[in-house]
Amino acid sequence: MNKILNPSYLDGGQQPFRDLQAILKKSASPAVAWVGESGGAYNSGKNHVSNSFVYSFWYLDQLGMAASYDTKTYCRQTLIGGNYGLLDTSTFVPNPDYYSALLWHRLMGSNVLSTSFSGTTDLRAYAHCSKQSQGITLLLINLNSDTTVQVSVST
Within a domain: 152: no
Counting the structural domains of the chain, the total is: 1
Tell me if residue 127 falls in helix, strand or coil.
Answer: strand
H helices of 1-155, in order, are: 7-11, 14-27, 55-68, 96-107
Within a domain: 148: no
Tens of pLDDT along the chain (155 residues)? 778 899 999 999 999 999 999 999 999 889 999 998 776 777 778 888 888 999 999 999 999 999 999 999 999 888 998 888 899 999 999 999 999 999 999 999 999 999 988 888 999 999 999 998 999 999 999 999 998 988 888 87
Q: What is the pLDDT of residues 103-127, one digit of tens each?
A: 999 999 999 999 988 888 999 999 9
Q: What is the pLDDT of residues 3-18, one digit of tens each?
A: 889 999 999 999 999 9
Q: Is the pTM of this model over 0.85?
A: yes
β-bridge partners, 71: 33
Which domain, by its residues, includes 52? 7-26+33-142
Within a domain: 155: no
- SS3 letters across 46-79: CCCCCCCCCHHHHHHHHHHHHHHCCEEEEEECCC
Within a domain: 61: yes
